[in-house]
Each structure stands twice: as structure tokens, then as C-alpha cells.
Amino acid sequence: MIKNNYFQLVLFFVILLFGNFLIYSGVHATLAPQIYFTELNLSKNTFEPGQTLEGTVSLWNYEEFVISDLVFYFQLLGGEVNGVDTKMIAEQRGEEIFSLSPGQEIKKTFSYTLPSNLPVCSLKFRIQLANSRGEEWGWIDKVISVGGEGKFLTLDNYWVVKEGEDLSPGGGVHYQPGEIPEVRFDVANSSDFTIIAFPKIITYKRNVGGEILQEQAGESIIVEPEGKQTLRITLPELTKPESYLSEIKFLEKDSQQLVSNSLYFRWIISGEDAEILSVQPNKSSYQAGDEAEIKVQYTGPPDYEIEGGEGVLKVEIYDEKENLVGKAEKDIEIESREILIEVPITKSVYNPKVKVEIIKKGRILDQYEFEITPVVKVPEKHLPEEKISFFERNKNLIIGLILIILIIGAIIYFLKTKKMKTAKTLILLTLLGVGILFGNYVLAATEVTGGNCDTNIVFNSPVPNKKYEIGDILNFKGKFRVTSCGNGLFYNRVDFFVTEDKDIPLTLAGDDCCENCRGATSVDYGSCDSIQNLEYCDEVEVLDESGPGIYKLGTIYPSDVHSGARPYWVEYNQSFVIPDNLGFSGPVRFYVQYSGTHWESHWHWDITYQSGEILELNHSPEADFSCSIPGCYAYAGTSNPILTLENNSTDPDGQDDIVKSEWEILDQGWANFECTGNNSICDFSIPSTFSSSGEYDVKLTVTDNAGETDSEEKTITIRDDIDADFLCSLSGEEGDWHECDLFKGVQEEYTYFKDISTPSEEASSISSWAWEINDVPFSGNVSTSSVKISGKSNTVKLKVTDNKGRTGYASHIFDAKLPLPTWQEIGF
């Protein structure tokens, strides 16, 4: 009996373990390659149509693989709802195709010539990173201002018309081979020009930037100023099962220049199909005997009603002479997946060409080939830290194997002691733990769970492992797109969380899910009550918000996938202030939780997070100072050379924590100018170089005992003080006044003195005078005075006061000669 139970338990263990790995390996969503934009700089921010926009942009490849076949798309976006742009004004593909090595951070220069016709407004300039197939990954934005005449048409209110019904163009409308799609949209002219233009229709395989299958021009139209027309246009007739994207834009008839924004219509020819989304080799060169590791992301048929079935993924590697140097095949399920395939290399190759095919029953469903352009080898120190350590790289596998060994030992022990219930419970708990360990191991942004059908995720920000402080702005930017399934996303909802760095339990949305459809009311389908066939709503998984260490930042309800710069994306761009009542710090996770449904079908959901860190509550000091005189001014000169600055800095842990105070006059480049007193008071002696008035920026930097610093800058004003002085004369007559230092008086005769003082800066006149000679006052309160000179050497002082109460002093020393003898004529 025990043997039978033992066999049943082992079988139970194996089935659960195998099923557990299937669950966690079968996630129905893929994270786009983790490439982050970190900086965008433009030479200027104001432009006229037709001008060239130049700048630099910084990129960071966070993957352990080479990311090849990269290209920039330069986009101008307008219109905005909740931070998400709704109109693609213009788009141009860059010329350079480049690669990024693992961990590489790079700054690239670029230039983009604006179209000749643009609306007059503020637009968002975006650099979008994609591969040559048009698969979009990270991006970065900068707002620019556009002038000019505003000669431009606005295309809006656009629909696919099928069987008399207006259908959303965003998710994809299904057609049978040979059916011809029809679309309807409005054209409006808000400019002051009569515009004659024609529609240009470009149809791509899957995405803009992918293979162009057809281009055609429509009939010209005339749109008067403030005019508006509704047009109906047919798209091309195509037969191959595929997901197509048609772009419609208008060109001016005479100049052939762009004169409108673009509209996009997603439509699908039903049938068996597959699409290779991205291919990432682990290196840019290989030696004979190596095994190339090639990571491939792909998806299945765009028609969700068609099963992809089984197929073969084939990878071939060629050298520069087109010689085959490596080949491998792998059986796959044709659905949204990411797999790693190892390719034996028979001959050394540098910057090889990689060719990938998905084959089903001998038919090639999709083919993708590209050359790996030369990449820079990044020093190990520049690679993300968690990618260097072997244990960190394989810790989930190591821990999982240890747990399996322990549980097998425990099973044997409990079987021998006949504790069957305990053995089963231990098996279940251990399998859950192992599943979580294996399921959560993803570099950079990490997908926890993904819902039914195939969703592609771009996690644009926050970037990995960034550090934040309480009060900082935390920006979430990214998007979700249906890679197959083919018919849009509605009742969309996105929740944002910050949590402690631990696995957060998931729970089912349950009845609440279908009651409010998780998201807001659909534009196209109204309230949830009107929909009878919302399948799998009760399978939507959400974070359990009730546990500790979880803080919900907010929720948004994106509109239906109908309008937008790329209307088949559910895009979000939300910023939150990290609150002071968060309750935890240190390593954290920034979660994005998405849910949405198809027209009247199954639900998508996804829970993804980025790792980061929130620093402990700020212990930095707060620098501040004030002046002894309101208005923070002082007078240059000798009468009041001191300006007292009071250090009012504080520290969250107390004033005693501030251990260093440094003062600097920024305008003069003087650091640590001399102060008397302690840290609290700085008696600043106005230097003689401040002989004229002016404004000067004084900076105080304080440091606490933890080494944290803070600075405060204030402007002080140095004003001209009274410039006191007087002239001397023997006669007091006009033209006989001299500088006193060069003057010679005469003893026993009068010498005359005249005030020439200048009042202080804010005063208008001198109001009083006090004269002294050899410390004896003479004369009254007058500007011009005289005194009889009695001694050989004489010191004359003048004290003047202006009408603002400022006082100045002047003093001169001069000699007096003896008077000439008196001549008296004597008669004989």
C-alpha cells in the first residue's frame, strides 16, 4: 500500500512540476527588447517649416544580446489626451542602420528636415526606435514650436466601412482573400489657404517601415479655407493571409509636398500566417566551434480564430561572402513566443548575416534577414551589475534545484512515516515556490503574468534600477499592442503601483471584472451591460492590493484602440509624485497592470514591473541664510564695510548635524571668503574691489555629518556710499579752487573750503556739513566755508550727511607758509 501511495505521489509530483513549468513558460505576451532612451538634446526648440532639426540622443541596450537592424524614425506628433499623442503629423525614417552590443550606452547625432507645410503650434518631436520591419520599441520626446503660415489639412473621424457598419481601424478588420476594404474619414482646412491636394495610400506588410506592398494616388480635392469634406476611399485588393497597415496622407498637387497628418487603418486577410518580431544574436562575431545563441520573438496568425499549429523555426548564419557558416532548426508552436535557439558555427565569421524563417508544412510563413553591423565591445564594468554575477544569473535555477532535492527527501521521509497529507501539502507549496522563482526571472522589465491571446509590451520608463527620493516625479511610459488576435482592445484600464521588492500575490478580478468591464465605458460598444459575450472576464488576474508594502499610485482608462498616432497601440504616459506616506524604501518594484478586451471576445491582461530603488527619507540639510539689512544690501566704502549674513540652515535631524558652511561670491569666483564668527553668523567685509554698485550672487553650501550637502543662492546689492571730498582756495573766487593735497595756505590769512561730495546711491543731495581744523570746529552748517590759518601744518576734516541719512568723511592735510613782509615806504 505504501509503495502504491509512493508511486502515486511521485507521479503527482512530476505532473505538477511539468504543468507548473508549462504555466510559467506559456505566457501569452512578449516584452520588446529592453533598449532605453536616456537623453535627447536639440540645437534649438523653435523652427519654421522646412528647417533642419539637429541634436543628439543617448541609448542604452540593457539586454545580454546584440540588438541589430536598428533604425530611427523621426516623428512629429500633435493632439494629446492624457499625455498620449493622437495625430501623426509627419514621419521620416532615418538612413543609418546600426547595432548595439550588450550593455552598450551610446550617444548618436542626428538631423531631420521638417516638412515644408506644418500647422502653427507646439508639436512633439519623437525619436522612435524600431527595426527595419517597423517593429517599434523605445522612444523619447521633446516639445518644439513651429511657426510659418499653417498651410495644412487635418484628417480625422476615420473608420473602416464594412457591410454598412463603421468599424474601428485600430485593432484590425478581417477580410477574406480578394475582398476590397473601404474607409471613410473627414478632411478639414483650418488655414487661410485654398488647398488642392490628393490622397496618397501606402500599404505596408504589418507595420510602417515594413515591406511596402502597394502605393497609389487618389483623385485631387479642393478644400477652401475653413472647409470640410468627408471622403470614402478603397484600399488595395490583396490575397495573401497577413496583417496589413494602410497609411493615408495628402500631398499638395503642385509641390507634391506633404500637407496633412497621416491616418492608419489596420486590416487582415484571414488565413495561416506568422510574423517574426525581432531577432537578437548574443554576439556580433563567432569563432569556428562556437555555438551562437539567437533569441527570436515571433507571433502567430493575426486572425485569432485560426490556430497557428506546429511549425519549424529555421536559423541560418552567413559570412560576408554569403557562405553558410551555421544552421539550426527547432520545432515550435506558432503563437506569440520568445525562444532561444543554438546554432553551431563551422567557420569564423565577423559581422555575419542572420536569416530566420518560420516554416509550416514546407511553406515559408515569414522570413527575416539582416546583417549585424559592427558594434562596440563594452567593458564588463559597463554591463548592468546583475548580468555579471554567475549566481545572480542563475540563482532561480540553483535555488529551484536545491528545493527539488529537499522536497524529494521530505517526500521519502513523510512516506516512511505514513504522513501522506503532509507530503502532498509540502509538494504543492514547494512547486508554487519553484514556479514563482522560474517564472519571474527576466532581465530589466519583468513580466509577471500575461492574459489570453498575444500582446506585445514596450516598457519605456522608468529605466531599470533608477534611484528615487520621496517627492521625486516618477514617470510611467509604455504601450501594449495585440500582435495577433487582430481586432483591437477596448474597455482598457491601466493601474500603476510601487511595491516592496517581493512577489506580490495575484488574485482573480472575479465578478467585479464583468460588472464594470475593468475599464471605462467603450466608445464603440457602450456600457458592459449591452455586451453579452465578454468571454474569460473572470480569468483576469490582478495584484492583491490588500497586502503590506503595496502602494497604488493611480488608474487610467485609455480610450478604445481607435484614434491615435498609432491607433493599434494602447499607450500610456503618466507621472506621479512619490508620496511621503509610502511607508517603505530600499529596493522596490514599479508595476504596470493592464487589462482590456476584444470587440465581443476574450480578455487581455498583463502585469509587468521594473526594478528600482527609493532612498530613505531625505536626511539632506536645507541651506538658507538672511541678511542683517532688509533687502540684503550694503554700501561699498569706508563708512560701513560690514554686511552681516546669518546662516539659517536646518537639517531634518537637527541643526547640530550641519558640520560645515562654505560661502562663495559666484560673480567674482571667490570661494570661502573670509567670515568672522561661527557657522551661524558671517560678517562679510565688503572688499575694496566693490567700488561701484552692482548685484552679486552669494552662495551658501552646508554639509551635514552624513556628507549630504545643500546650497542656497541669494542676490546682495552693493550700493555706492557717500563719496566725501572738498576743494581749497586762497580767494574763494571762481577759478581759484584746487585739490587740497596740492594746496599751500598762508598763515594768519583766510583759506576757503568748498564741499564737492557725492551723495549715496539712493540719496539725491547732501543735507548737512560739519567742518573742523586741527580738531577744532569752525564755520556753520554750510557747504562753503573759510578759516584763518594759524599753524604751519593743518588738518581739515569734513563730515557730510545726505538726505537719506548716510554719512561720509573727508580729510586733507596741507602746509601754510609765512606771510610776505609788509613794505612801508619811508621818505628822506
* CATH node for 275-371: 2.60.40.2550
Least confident of 200-209, 329-338, 541-550, 642-651: 642-651
pLDDT at residue 653, rounded to an integer: 57
- Report pLDDT for 419: 53
- Count of beta carbons in the 10 Å neighbourhood of residue 797: 18
The one-letter amino acid at 542: V
Answer whether 0.85 is exceeded by the pTM: no
Q: Bigger pLDDT: 762 or 356?
A: 356
- pLDDT band for 391, please (50, 70, 90 cuts): very low
Query: Domain 153-269 belongs to what topology?
Result: Coagulation Factor XIII; Chain A, domain 1 (2.70.50)
| pLDDT tops 70 at residue 377 | no
427: pLDDT strictly greater than 50: no
State the CATH class of domain 625-720: mainly beta
Short-list 458, 672, 448, CA closest to 568: 458
Residue in the structure block whose three cell numbers are 493571409: 241
Give 438-476 as a DSSP string. Answer: HHT--SSSEEEEE-SS-EEEEEEESPTTEEE-TT-EEEE
pLDDT > 50? residue 231 = yes
Query: Can you tell me the mean pLDDT for 390-406?
Result: 54
* pLDDT for res 242: 87
Residue 522 has pLDDT above 50, yes or no: yes
Residue 164, C-beta contacts closer than 8 angstroms, at least 6 positions apart: none
Residue 580: predicted pLDDT = 84
pLDDT tier for residue 533 given thresholds of 50, 70 and 90: low
Nearest to 186 by CA among 143, 156, 217: 156
Bridge partners (DSSP) listed for residue 364: 359
- Specify the pLDDT at position 27: 46
Q: How confident is the model at residue 392 (pLDDT cuts 50, 70, 90)?
A: very low
Closest CA to 277 of 102, 61, 484: 484
Asked if pLDDT for residue 409 goes beyond 80, the answer is: no
Phi-psi region of 501 (alpha: psi -120 to 50; beta: other; left: phi over 0): beta
Compare 21 and 241 and report the one with higher pLDDT: 241
Q: Please state, rounded to an integer, the average pLDDT across all residues of the chain.
A: 82
DSSP 376: P
Looking at 417-549, which runs of residues are DSSP E strands? 446-450, 455-461, 466-468, 473-482, 490-500, 506-508, 541-543
Question: E-assigned strands of 1-51?
Answer: 29-31, 35-42, 46-47
CA 79 to chain centre: 19
46-55, 680-689, 713-722, 769-778 — which is least confidently predicted?
Answer: 680-689
Does residue 15 carry a pLDDT above 50? no
Average pLDDT over residues 386-407: 52
**What does the pLDDT average to over 674-686?**
60
- Residues whose CB falls within 8 Å of the CB of residue 381, separated by 6 or more in sequence, listed in order: none
Band of pLDDT at residue 217, cut at 50, 70 and 90 = very high
* DSSP code, position 226: T
DSSP strands (E only) in 170-301: 173-175, 182-189, 195-205, 212-217, 221-223, 228-234, 242-252, 263-269, 275-281, 285-286, 291-299
Alpha-carbon span 244 to 254, nearest angstrom: 30
32-146 and 153-269: same fold? Answer: no
pLDDT at 719: 76
| Confidence band of 194 (pLDDT split at 50, 70, 90) | very high
φ, ψ for residue 126, nearest 5 deg: -120, 135
Residue 828 has pLDDT above 50, yes or no: no
Nearest of 140, 122, 37 to residue 80 by alpha carbon = 122
Q: Is the pLDDT of residue 705 over 80?
A: no
The predicted pLDDT at position 673 comes to: 55
Once rounded to an integer, what is the mean pLDDT over residues 15-35? 55
Say what the pLDDT of residue 418 is. 54
Q: Is the pLDDT of residue 441 over 50?
A: no
Of 194-208, 769-783, 800-814, which gets the smallest average pLDDT? 800-814
Give the pLDDT confidence score for residue 12 in this predicted structure.
Answer: 43
Mean pLDDT is highest, among 148-162, 440-454, 695-709, for 148-162
Say if residue 73's pLDDT is above 50. Answer: yes
Helices 2-25/420-439 angle, 10° precision? 20
Say yes or no: domain 32-146 is CATH 2.60.40.10: yes
Domain boundaries, the chain: 32-146, 153-269, 275-371, 446-614, 625-720, 726-817
Q: What is the pLDDT averaged over residues 201-227?
A: 93
Give the CATH number of domain 446-614. Answer: 2.60.40
Residue that the C-alpha cell 555555438 belongs to: 291
Q: Letter for the amino acid at 288? A: A
Q: Hey, what's the cell of 544?
A: 492583491
Fold held by 726-817: Immunoglobulin-like (2.60.40)
Res. 544: pLDDT tops 60 = yes
- Contact between 480 and 497 (Cβ < 8 Å): no
Q: List phi, psi (to 5°) of 770.
A: -140, 120
Smallest Cα–Cα separation from 32: which of 84, 70, 77, 74? Answer: 70
Decide if pLDDT at 618 tops 60: no
3-state SS assignment for residue 382: helix
Residue 21, classed as helix, strand or coil, is helix
Q: pLDDT: is 408 or 231 the higher one?
A: 231
User: Is the model's pLDDT at 22 over the cut of 50?
Assistant: no
Cell numbers placing 74? 523621426
Beta-carbon contacts of 323 under 8 Å, excluding residues fewer than 6 positions away, are 347
pLDDT > 50? residue 748: yes
For residue 417, what pLDDT is reported? Answer: 62
Tell me if 741 sits within 8 A of 811, measured CB to CB. no
Q: How confident is the model at residue 821 (pLDDT cuts 50, 70, 90)?
A: low
Please enumerate in sequence order all residues whose Cβ is within 8 A of that of 455, keeping only pairs 6 or more positions apart, or say none: 28, 29, 30, 336, 480, 481, 482, 483, 594, 604, 606
What's the angle, vertex CA 670, arms to CA 665 and CA 672, rounded to 5? Answer: 90
Under DSSP, the state recorded for 622 is B
At 542, give phi and psi (nearest 5°).
Answer: -135, 160
